[in-house]
Amino acid sequence: MKKWTENRNFDRSAGNENEKHFTGSKVEVRNNDVNYALRKMKKILERNDFQKDLAKHEFYEKPGVKRKRAKESAKKRWQKEVNKMRMAGVWQDRASGDLKYMKSKRKRRKVLDRETMLTNLIRSRNKQ
């Protein structure tokens, strides 16, 4: 009886001798110009958000706090998407049949602010 590993070749590097795979970031120093290489390295690390990653891993973060942060960022992304759709005229806000959702002053203010923001954005787009 054959093992399942005998059927396939799992060595992924077998056909790719010419390709070089680097882990991490590397910069080659040419003509003993270390300052230039250092500047290049800093730009690469900045582009990869290395500093943010270090700051994120500096202290332990509880799983609940991670979930909360991820949920807040997802809400922000969704709100951004909704605002884009509102600007394009694709998204229409639907009011429920009763005015119960606008009973509190804060909720009324939120709806009015959203409407004024949308009209101002549409006006500014039409002027351009």
Same domain, 28 and 63: yes
121: closest CA among 87, 89, 88, 79?
Answer: 87
- Judge whether 73 lies within some domain: no
Which residues, in sequence order, are CB contacts of 107 under 8 Å at separation 6+? 101
Which H or E run includes 43? helix 34-47
Look at residue 39 in the predicted model and tell me its pLDDT.
Answer: 92
Residue 15 lies in a domain: no
Among 19, 40, 17, residue whose Cα is nearest residue 28: 40
Q: Is residue 28 a contact partner of residue 37, using CB atoms and an 8 Å limit?
A: yes
Count of domains in the chain?
Answer: 2
Q: Record the tokens describing residue 96, joined without a space.
A: 């429920």
Supply the range of the domain harboring residue 30: 24-67
Residue pLDDT tens, the chain, 128 long: 566 556 555 555 555 555 444 456 788 888 889 999 999 988 888 888 888 888 888 899 999 999 999 999 999 999 889 888 887 878 777 766 566 667 788 888 888 888 888 888 878 878 77
Supply the DSSP symbol for 60.
-
- pLDDT confidence of residue 101: 67
